[in-house]
Amino acid sequence: MLTLGEAIARSLWAKDLTPEQLARVERETCERIIQAGDFVCHRGDRPEYWFGVIEGLVKMSSDSEAGKAVTLTSVPAGGWFGEGTLLKRELRKSDFVALRTSRLAFMPYRTFAWLLDTSIAFNQFLLHQLNERLGQFVGFVESDRIDDTNARVAHCLASLFNPILYPGMPMDVPISQAEIALLAGASRQSTNQVLRILEERGLLRVGYGSITILDLDGLRKFSG
């Protein structure tokens, strides 16, 4: 199992830190286990940490007043999230929920701010990540307006496995069809049908509570 220190050390933003800088980050960052279904943080919280997923899967979601839930995006192992409101010093605008029991790194704001002040590589990483996320969400909007349900599910899955945002993401991930439906903005029933179509075409394999991506590029290009 990956230790907290290893998880930090192999993060993209840690590559160009000096050993002293890395040591400080490791000293000040703590690890917490979030049970499946539990919140990492709530909307309205004052942001105090930058979060890294060591192991597991976390979704960013919102609940409407009517009780309808939508998933904005998911963060797999190796991904870091929460920098948006941390940078702006605003209250959290959405919930983060563990989709399954996950091990998270909690980096305090002061450590995050210190890295921002001292490491050019860290700034470059954030710029890169924010840009990549912007592209991801533009893609979501485009997909929402243009694609039919089949293509939307395919494209949502492709963006979940984005190797630029989430390097080292295993192509086999435990996630239920109900969660995929929330992510793609489709019903569970139609998601189920789409997954079978995608499996027929050899783009992925569906298992019990999990999917395996076989052809990421094929998912990206999928239409009709």
Footprint on this chain of DNA (rule: CB under 7 A):
176-178, 188-189, 192, 195-196, 206-210
Write the single-letter amino acid at 96: F
Cβ nearer to DNA, comparing 68 with 145: 68
What 3-state DSSP class applies to 209? coil
Closest CB 152 distance from DNA, rounded Å: 18
* Residue 15: φ, ψ to 5°: -55, -40
49 forms beta bridges with: 108
User: Please, are residues 72 and 94 in contact by the beta-carbon 8 Å criterion?
Assistant: yes
Closest CB 209 distance from DNA, rounded Å: 4
Cβ nearer to DNA, comparing 88 with 188: 188
Closest CB 36 distance from DNA, rounded Å: 8
Closest CB 212 distance from DNA, rounded Å: 12
Cβ nearer to DNA, comparing 86 with 195: 195
What 3-state DSSP class applies to 32? strand
Other CB atoms within a 10 A radius of the CB of residue 223 amount to 10
Cβ nearer to DNA, comparing 65 with 217: 65
Q: How far apart are CA 34 and CA 110, in angstroms?
A: 23
Cβ nearer to DNA, comparing 46 with 188: 188
Closest by CA to 149, choosing from 190, 182, 204, is 190
User: Please, are residues 152 and 144 in contact by the beta-carbon 8 Å criterion?
Assistant: yes
Closest CB 110 distance from DNA, rounded Å: 37
